[in-house]
Amino acid sequence: MRIIYQLLVVLFMIIQGAVGQPFVPRSIKFCGAQNGRCFRGICRRPYYWIGTCDNGYSCCKMYVEV
C-alpha cells in the first residue's frame, strides 16, 4: 500500500514538470525580490515578517515610515 502512495507522488511531480510549473511554487529569490532578509526565528524590530525563506527562516523586511 505504501508503494502506491509513493508512485502517486512521483506521478504528480512528473505531471507538474510536464506542464511547466515548478514543484515548489515559490522561487529561491523570493525574499531578496521583496527587499527582505532571512533571519532565524521571528522578526524583531525594526523588521516585520513578509514570508518564509527556502531554508525555513523568516523573511523579514525593514519597517520604513513614510
* Residue 12 parent element (H or E): helix 2-18
Euclidean distance between CA atoms 45 and 26, whole angstroms? 26
**Per-residue pLDDT tens over the stretch 8-62:** 888 877 777 666 655 555 555 778 788 889 999 999 989 999 988 888 899 999 8
Cell 527556502, located at residue:
54
Domain of 8 in residue numbering reads as 3-62
pTM: 0.52
Euclidean distance between CA atoms 65 and 34, whole angstroms? 17
Question: Cα torsion at 41, 42, 48, 53 (round to 10°)?
Answer: 30
- In eight-state DSSP terms, residue 62 is E
CATH number of the structural domain spanning residue 41: 3.10.360.10
- Partnered with residue 52 across adjacent β-strands are 58
